[in-house]
Amino acid sequence: MLINNKEHFENISNLVEQITGLADRVFPYYKAFAEEVTSDCITDINVIERELDYILSYCFDKRILLLYKKILKKIYKQYPAVVKSYVDAYYDMFESDEGKNEEFFTTNHTNYTNERSKR
């Protein structure tokens, strides 16, 4: 039995809305976490890695991707191998491998973030 196209589209649309809603709900928590890491309030790499594992699953959202990058930039000097593994994990989940070393920290998502914050 085939699902009609309209029903299929509505199911996908509902799923996208639910996923976006989840990202909207976790964003304030991860924003506060990123601020604590970048201000050296949280320095335990085990805690940081645990949260990065969770944050990674929301990196489809550009706002959360920016937080992910912010945390990785902060810990890079002390933990370059950890940062490399999280950059690789991001590309495995969301992007192709082309140019991953050059592009990851240079991609600017500011316009998207500003647009989302106006909502």
The parent domain of residue 46 ranges over: 5-117
User: From the centroid of its chain, how far is CA 98?
Assistant: 19
Segment 100-114 mean pLDDT = 50
pLDDT single digits (tens) 28-87: 999 999 999 999 999 999 999 999 999 999 999 999 999 999 999 999 999 999 999 999
Tally of domains within the chain: 1
Check residue 2 and give its pLDDT. 54
For residue 17, give Cα distances in angstroms to 4, 20, 21, 22, 55.
20, 5, 6, 9, 19
Is-contact 59 93, C-beta < 8 A?
yes
Question: With 60 as the cut, is the pLDDT of residue 25 above it?
Answer: yes
What's the half-sphere exposure (Cβ side, CA atoms, 13 Å) at 72?
Answer: 24
Report if pTM > 0.85: no
Helix (H, G, I), strand (E, B) or coil at 109: coil
Res 58: pLDDT: 93
